[in-house]
Chain A
């Protein structure tokens, strides 16, 4: 084995250890000392310390008493930022959506692939929580789960199981809005029929032991039977819908246009999941911003931040920067990374930086990639900010997170060091040993021009995934030759 090979090998072992880090217990006490802290909730600390005990943040401030037995990591000159949260991603799955339109009985567990490079990239990009959910091409998709990007199996990766069902009021591909809405109505009508029948059956079963058989009529029989149903009585096809209408499951509802928003609200109110609804919005939905605001439900904006529409009279393209509209309406929103890994939009902090460029305040931009998505997932008590009591999901940036010359240097998940740039073999192979080299000032100037930003992004971090993607496709072809 050559020296170079052995370096790669050591790196690979280190990387594969990242994967198994979920199994490892974190050091009991860990102090990240001397960094600039951006807690997102609360004031920035120019130079401070975060103390982590058993995977949770126990102290944070300029001066923290570090216990004698804590491992101290010097992060002087670095920036400590909450692990970023991706509120809606289907990239960990084999296909974004199943062909069947109504699949509330499915679980992403069955298709989640921990070996996807996507998870490795998420870690490298500073994303520590990912809501894995089917994509928008569905009527009702399966249940989702929240994972962190380390672990060898879905079970090891999981932070929260069975969080939400996916619904779409925008038409599934090759369908239309009337069929879409009819299918949704039909599904919930069928559910209520099913529940009525089940209640009657349960009531009749309860009479079997009794001598006296009284016919109370179907209405009364259903009312009495309903109380006798236990959760195990529901079949697979309906169990999750029952949870949804009973408020035990969240609902991520996709709207493509402004018109979809009203339909989504009505659907949610009619079927009892309005209080657990989260909007997943296409760019055109900004037109329904007042309607959305009135609901006070969480908002997730799609990865395309600019809405473009052609004025048919003049031929002019009207561009609207969508997050600005929501920010101006004082709506808290979450941003998503772009699924195309070869664009700058792949990075959540880049998405936030674009918001700042377009007039959204820095505070709101930072919240939209951390605490807001955490809130949309109902996990803001655990993730999304650097506060005492929260899970220690921390990204150590080499500079300000919104400066696109900053690198993710380290990532901590549950207080475990899950990533270090020094041992990132793939980065090293792409850039040589000098990954920390900061591009010249000229390139910083270009940030105003979007096209150039992409160019500079490409120079600095040529995408790792493109070639891999091609590889995956090839793999399938290879396999098809394999035959039976």
Chain B
């Protein structure tokens, strides 16, 4: 086992990496005029993993004991029982016979693009047109930490200081350039309802915030519809190009979702009513904490995804009762339920701990594993590529000493797009 990629990046001095980061930043902001490449050639195109247990996390919930996964050219070529798959010649074999292999974990809510300075541009209550793509830093410490914890795909979103803080970016947790990393941009539109925006804009109530957010979205929708009418020939009038609202077109054609910082009953209810029901947006409800689980009946009537965390319990003072948030959502029938970290609020590598805590407060282990893999991938509409171990999907895997949700387990090896990006045997992080 030669963790070639990892060794290579170790060869860089700290100063060189800093320069690289600046160069990449300049390169990106100049629109790719400066080409930056760390020049990592994927020589390990073909890998075979012999695993003690494989959780495919697919729709049939298939679990293989004593299995083989073949990886070819960054994709999963075959997966199945060891007795049925013969490892062809030329494959580098990774022996993990006492290990669990699970899909690379997916987090819908991460703020570690760029530095904390880049978290929020608090100009107006709604700031359409901003994008985290401009702040993505490849091979940052956050990225390395995350993949050492088995996390392979994340949605990098701006903060929730304003009601609408810009577009997020879905990236892999590995890659030497921004282009290498990015899975989709825009990954989602970030909206924050109540809570934080109230803190920064003292005196603004929910009635004005909701009105204002709705107005911004309606302007964007009108823009989208006038273009649609022009493109389909229904209108001969060519609308003016507007760089601020152009990014919303995919939102209204449901190519990507809106991710909403939303918590507490009234706020989440408004999210579902305004964004999911009335504006018909593909919605990912993030946080969903405090007494938000009471909105379950409304959420069930929609196609929204619920991604709970990082706060895992709510103490109901009126009833003097502890409520596990995820458990209550699950009990309310919401099964499109995932878990997030809000990294760096909770470090990215502690994503499975969030699930562990959700289980401690009454959720179940297997649905929780699904909430770290397939569900967030579906929520972000990248489930054709990641979230499960299935033939044809990206070879994003974590090789664990046991169940990832068990806090005693550790991730020993992480593979992204068929490349080993972390190997505890070479240099252990945790």
Of the candidates A94, A117, A482, the one whose C-beta lies within 8 Å of that of B311 is A482
Per-residue CB proximity of A91-113 to B under 8 Å, as 1/0? 00111011110010111101111
Per-residue CB proximity of A149-173 to B under 8 Å, as 1/0? 0001101000000000000000000
Q: Does B376 contact A (CB under 8 A)?
A: no
Contact A484 B161 (CB under 8 A): yes
- Select from chain A the residue with minimum beta-carbon distance to B207: A111
Selected interface stretch from A182-190, A245-253, A467-475: A467-475
Find chain B residues with CB under 8 A from A99 CB: 202-205, 208
Other contacts beyond A99-B202, A113-B266, A475-B264: 11, CB < 8 A: A94-B194, A97-B205, A99-B203, A99-B208, A110-B210, A115-B265, A116-B266, A425-B319, A482-B311, A482-B345, A483-B196
Q: Does B331 contact A (CB under 8 A)?
A: no
Contact A98 B207 (CB under 8 A): yes
Of the candidates A106, A155, A480, A483, the one whose C-beta lies within 8 Å of that of B342 is A483
Contact A107 B345 (CB under 8 A): no
**How far is A142 from B199 in the complex, measured between Cα atoms in Å?**
23
A selection of 10 A-B contacts at a CB cut-off of 8 Å is A98-B204, A110-B210, A115-B265, A117-B318, A152-B297, A468-B317, A468-B318, A471-B317, A480-B196, A483-B196
Q: Does B160 contact A (CB under 8 A)?
A: yes
Q: How many A-B residue pairs have CB under 8 A?
A: 101
Contact A110 B342 (CB under 8 A): no
**How far is A93 from B289 in the complex, measured between Cα atoms in Å?**
20
Q: Does B17 contact A (CB under 8 A)?
A: no
Find chain A residues with CB under 8 A from B161 CB: 484
Find chain B residues with CB under 8 A from A71 CB: none
Q: Does A308 contact B (CB under 8 A)?
A: no
Known: A152-B297, A426-B318, A483-B342. A98 touches B208 (CB 8 A): yes
Find chain B residues with CB under 8 A from A95 CB: 205-206
User: Which among A134, A152, A475, A479 has the highest number of chain B CB atoms within 10 Å?
Assistant: A479
**How far is A62 from B423 in the complex, measured between Cα atoms in Å?**
87
Known: A112-B266, A471-B318, A479-B195. A484 touches B205 (CB 8 A): no
Contact B208 A100 (CB under 8 A): yes
A252 to chain B, nearest CB (A): 16
**How far is A95 from B345 in the complex, measured between Cα atoms in Å?**
28
**How far is A8 from B211 in the complex, measured between Cα atoms in Å?**
39
Contact A106 B199 (CB under 8 A): no
A443-484 at interface with B (beta carbon < 8 Å): 467-468, 471, 475, 479-480, 482-484
Find chain A residues with CB under 8 A from B345 CB: 482-484
Known: A482-B311, A483-B342. A12 touches B199 (CB 8 A): no
**How far is A482 from B194 in the complex, measured between Cα atoms in Å?**
13
- Select from chain A the residue with minimum beta-carbon distance to B295: A152
Find chain A residues with CB under 8 A from B266 CB: 94, 111-116
**How far is A35 from B406 in the complex, measured between Cα atoms in Å?**
63
Contact B119 A484 (CB under 8 A): yes
Q: Does B77 contact A (CB under 8 A)?
A: no
**How far is A134 from B208 in the complex, measured between Cα atoms in Å?**
12
Find chain A residues with CB under 8 A from B287 CB: 482
Contact A484 B318 (CB under 8 A): no
Of the candidates A113, A142, A155, the one whose C-beta lies within 8 Å of that of B265 is A113
Find chain B residues with CB under 8 A from A112 CB: 266
A117-164 at interface with B (beta carbon < 8 Å): 117, 134, 142, 152-153, 155
User: Which among B269, B287, B290, B298 has the highest number of chain A CB atoms within 10 Å?
Assistant: B269
A275 to chain B, nearest CB (A): 27
Q: Does A236 contact B (CB under 8 A)?
A: yes
- Select from chain A the residue with minimum beta-carbon distance to B290: A475
Contact B160 A142 (CB under 8 A): no
B interface residues, how many (CB within 8 angstroms): 42
**How far is A98 from B206 in the complex, measured between Cα atoms in Å?**
9
Q: Does B270 contact A (CB under 8 A)?
A: yes
Contact B160 A484 (CB under 8 A): yes
Find chain A residues with CB under 8 A from B294 CB: 115, 152
Find chain B residues with CB under 8 A from A480 CB: 196, 199
**How far is A97 from B204 in the complex, measured between Cα atoms in Å?**
9
A1-46 at interface with B (beta carbon < 8 Å): 8, 12
Contact A153 B203 (CB under 8 A): no
Contact A110 B196 (CB under 8 A): no
Find chain A residues with CB under 8 A from B120 CB: 484
Per-residue CB proximity of B191-226 to A under 8 Å, as 1/0? 000111001001111111111000100000000000
A190-240 at interface with B (beta carbon < 8 Å): 236
Find chain A residues with CB under 8 A from B319 CB: 8, 12, 425
**How far is A343 from B45 in the complex, measured between Cα atoms in Å?**
75
**How far is A368 from B195 in the complex, measured between Cα atoms in Å?**
39
- Select from chain A the residue with minimum beta-carbon distance to B291: A115
Lowest 5 A-B CB distances belong to which pairs?
A: A99-B203, A113-B266, A484-B159, A110-B210, A111-B207
**How far is A98 from B273 in the complex, measured between Cα atoms in Å?**
22
- Select from chain B the residue with minimum beta-carbon distance to A11: B319
Known: A479-B195, A484-B111, A484-B160. A108 touches B207 (CB 8 A): yes
A429 to chain B, nearest CB (A): 8
**How far is A346 from B266 in the complex, measured between Cα atoms in Å?**
24
**How far is A232 from B276 in the complex, measured between Cα atoms in Å?**
24
A416 to chain B, nearest CB (A): 18
Find chain B residues with CB under 8 A from A110 CB: 206-207, 209-211, 270
Q: Does B263 contact A (CB under 8 A)?
A: yes
Of the candidates A153, A425, A479, the one whose C-beta lies within 8 Å of that of B263 is A479
**How far is A421 from B406 in the complex, measured between Cα atoms in Å?**
46
Per-residue CB proximity of B99-128 to A under 8 Å, as 1/0? 000000000000100000001100000000
Known: A114-B266, A153-B298, A482-B345. A93 touches B205 (CB 8 A): yes
